Structure 1
């Protein structure tokens, strides 16, 4: 089977979406399928891979400087020669629209996966997100040749609009637009239950299912501490967070927790880089926590796996932003107990491997840290539970399930053609 993944988020940028796509590609290829990646061009980067097709790009600055594809008439035609069996978009803008055109031209099923809750970023990136929503609100009706897609049911909603309602309306509009895109695909995949509910409420009607991200568990179970850039001293305990350093990931809450925990033997390891890095480093220094909070910067996948092997706990402080973080699966595959605060997230999180905090601020995290780090038996139980949970998301198993969905959609598409 020839499968085309379309994404504006891909390597060499390392983050959850790119990691998920790479993992699925590798698993599908192990099953004997041929997978192409269609992604933005990254100047100066050479993939050395003829199955990665780079598109013209410009820089996007929502999180950080990152390339975004530029689409134009005639671009879809250039991909006719590949004769794909399935098109799968992992983005609902830019390359998502190109994927839609390619699937239509080639008469093959179009799957789309909704990875990111972009509308939840409006508080942290109001100008960029608002501008994007306005552009898509005008652009989709042109591309889809449909009536305007608006967040209001009737004029009375506009008359009753208050200034403080603006952000919630923008968020609602974002989900309506996302659902409208998905409704023009053959199948929609949501990595989490809470996202599936949001899309349904926003008007999703196309066939869909919750289909979580996957992980190559062997990579993490076989990892050792030898590749780690950190030297863990006897008696030290590591709390590790792997995430982009940005407002929506809320690392400042974890720094608050470390100040309240007040235990020199416990180190908070923040893996990643991003726009708030300088601000976080300054905050740590001003509180006298420079010896207890470690900033590693961006690391390779093998180095991240090694640090997770050194860790005693894994933590993520994002709240009502993340969908199904890949880092939870990576932590589970390393046998790490997970601490989190977002009650909406459930995939890969059970009472047998994770602890949901009572609140979303530093004091709630500090309490859980103290309880778990002081209870070796509880940590061991959660660690054993984590390894069991990770097996449910093994990439080979998940790839086989995805292939079954593809094959079913191909059969449906062939029946539709036969009836025409």
Structure 2
């Protein structure tokens, strides 16, 4: 998919919108999509292009965090974007770039998705210099009207939270609003990436001994982060002599003051400030830690909590709605109310068994799954697909071609793409399909479902053409080789039966004839037909009708005379036993076997038993003479001949004619 992302803020800017856009771009590209970014830069010159990033000149609004506002009219870029053949536009702002995005979407005839990042009603004070409630009310109403206008001009709208969605619904936006929290790259925090040498280095840097737990904070060192609350709590940690050390990673205006407070409370052995660390190594500190803590009540997303939990760290926090779904008391971490309760919570953590800690770590990894960039990507793609489906909702019949029992209908979409669907004649009439008729996407979906039935029926025809099949064979084929539901399968089977393409009686009759020619007995034939799903009634009727008693005797004798010559080196008695077994396995009844066995042509075997026995004795002699001598050799030969069914007296008669050496190798 080719996607155009339109945003009025992008790298090297650092803010929430940029983070969201960068995560989105990386996720899309990682999954093979082609992404183009249209953004701004402060200047009044021409459009700049850096690989897949287009930067439009604009005016920087320093009072609004350095955002750049650009003109919505850049006609030369519209032509260039048209050549890219974008599938969809995703816009992340409402003004300037946002208006331009809507112009491009309409011009290129493609869907537009918008993400509502900013609650503009919280920014009306920028134009309410006199702080008059009447002006604020008018401004908020204007925001609502503009938000509705921009929302309704989008194919789909994305809100980062339920709170934002509720606000948009309050504005009475008609477009579908999907809640998709901003995703984060959680893989880099995964415990599987932990490197023992890095953990050792970090703990040495912090002065943490092997038996001491590491409690981590990552973030700005500022008043609203309430790190002083944690320091106050560590006074009791020291009193209780808990084996844990608080490590603070980050910089900010309160760093020096908090360091002084730590010294004042003589907590240098319990608290260490590491200062700023580059973003590429922060994950190593999470992975080196044993738990995470933050007393902040000013979070908007709780990103550091998510990063900590993604590192399988139990977290300590004060109750706040923003993290209610992340910090589950006793499951993913602990809530502390004030300084003294912190030591109590830490003590609970230190007393956890290995199994309890493992469960808490597993739960931590589970609760952050919705925030993973891969989950974010999946949700975004659902919105994209929904948007495309809504936009591409009409198809026109281009051509209809006949083929056997079905027709192939060619549809063209709004962008001239063709879709060919196989349907039966009944569906063609039912939907009134003919050239140039327009149908909706719902009809296309229904026809595609019907196509799977048509293709399955066609596959059945191809199998039946090769050879006859039983009802069960075709049923098994449809259940194992297709994803059709039972109702569709039954309908196909019924249609095949109505057309006489499958007929178990006819099938059974044909198989009995063929297997009879192969000299198989009734029992074996019946067993085969039963395996093919033929009913007992049909089997009995066909077998009794097609196999006459005299035919069974005849075939049994033919089979016996055919295989008797394959039984060699056995006595006449043993040869009869083995022949009976073969006939039984071939499916002939005991009564038939008993009648036929005396009619079998055994040749001169019954008259030349002594010659056969001599051959068997010689064979046994060759087998055992290298191992045995004398009486042991004689006994082994005797035993071997006896097992071949020869009479005892005949064996002794032959053995007595031979000379034996009493010496034995054994």
- Does the alignment reach a TM-score above 0.5? yes
Q: CA deviation at 1:72?
A: 1.5
* C-alpha contact (below 8 Å) 1:357/1:364 kept by paired residues: no
> Is 1:182 equivalent to 2:151 in the alignment?
yes
Partner of residue 342 from structure 2, selected from 366, 375, 397: 366
* 8 Å Cα contact 1:342/1:356 also seen in 2: no
Partner residue, 1:124 = none
Which residue of structure 1 lines up, in the alignment, with residue 228 of structure 2? 255
1:223 aligns with 2:193: yes
- 3-state DSSP class of the match of 1:5? strand
Q: Is contact 1:314-1:339 (8 Å) kept? A: yes
Confirm or deny: 8 A CA contact 1:39 1:53 kept in the other structure: yes
In structure 2, distance between residues paired with 1:7 and 1:408: 22
> Which structure exhibits the higher relative contact order, with contacts defined as CA atoms closer than 8 Å and separated by 6 or more residues?
1
Task: Quote the Cα distance in structure 1 between the aligned partners of 2:89 and 2:126.
Answer: 24
Decide whether the 8 Å contact of 1:80 with 1:106 is kept in 2. no
Q: Secondary structure of the equivalent of 1:108?
A: coil
**Equivalence for 2:304:** 327
**Alignment TM-score, normalising by the size of structure 2:** 0.47
| Cα RMSD, aligned residues only | 4.2
Q: State the match for 1:53 in structure 2.
A: 54
Contiguous gaps of at least 5 residues in structure 1: 121-128, 136-156
Note the C-alpha offset of 1:244.
Answer: 5.0
Aligned to 1:403: 381
Aligned to 1:29: 29
TM-fit CA distance, 1:207: 0.5
1 CA distance for matches of 2:24 and 2:274?
30
> Aligned pair in 2 of structure 1 residues 244, 9: CA closer, same or farther (>3 Å)?
farther
Post-superposition offset of 1:400 = 3.3
**Could you tell me whether the CA contact under 8 Å between 1:348 and 1:390 is conserved in 2?**
yes
**Aligned-pair CA distance for 1:245:** 5.5
Range moving further from structure 2, 328-337 or 5-14: 5-14
Say which SS state the counterpart of residue 278 (structure 1) adopts: coil
Matches of 1:60 and 1:368 in 2, distance apart? 49
Q: What is the number of residues matched between the two proteins? A: 367
- Give the drift of 1:13: 4.4
Aligned partner of residue 165 in structure 2, secondary structure: helix
How many angstroms does 1:49 deviate by?
5.8
Q: Do 1:175 and 1:198's aligned partners in 2 also have CA atoms closer than 8 Å?
A: no
SS at match of 2:392: helix
Q: 1:74 to 1:199 in 2, by over 3 A?
A: closer
> 1:86-124: CA deviations, max 9, x gaps?
22123344543443343333332222223455766xxxx
Return the match for 1:201 from 170, 185, 191: 170
2:260 corresponds to which of 261, 285, 291: 285
Q: Distance in 2 between matches of 1:67 and 1:395?
A: 27
Q: Equivalent residue of 1:376, what SS?
A: coil
Distance 2:62 2:344 in 1: 36
CA–CA separation in structure 2 for the residues paired with 1:243 and 1:202: 35
Distance 2:8 2:380 in 1: 21
1:382 corresponds in structure 2 to: 360
What TM-score comes out, normalization by structure 1 length?
Answer: 0.70
For structure 2, the 5+ residue unaligned runs are: 239-243, 395-412, 415-437, 439-666
Distance in 2, Cα, partners of 1:108 & 1:186: 10
Compared CA separation, residues 336 and 326, structure 1 to 2 (3 A): same
Shift of 1:406: 1.1
Equivalent runs, 1:293-372 vs 2, <5 Å: 294=273, 296-297=275-276, 299-300=278-279, 302-319=280-297, 322=300, 324-340=301-317, 341-346=319-324, 348=326, 350=328, 354-355=332-333, 357=335, 363=339, 366=342, 370-371=346-347
Structure 2 counterpart SS, 1:56: strand
Q: CA deviation at 1:320?
A: 6.5
1:148 corresponds to which residue? none
Deviation at 1:287, TM superposition (A): 5.5
Instruction: Flag the 1:184–1:321 CA change in 2: closer, same or farther, 3 A.
Output: farther
Structure 2 residue 102 is matched with structure 1 residue 105? no
Aligned residue in 2 for 1:96:
98
Distance 2:198 2:55 in 1: 31
Q: Residues of 2 paired with 1:113 and 1:278: CA distance? A: 33
Q: SS at the partner of 2:178?
A: strand
Q: Secondary structure at the match of 1:185?
A: coil
Hey, what does 2:70 align to over in structure 1? 71
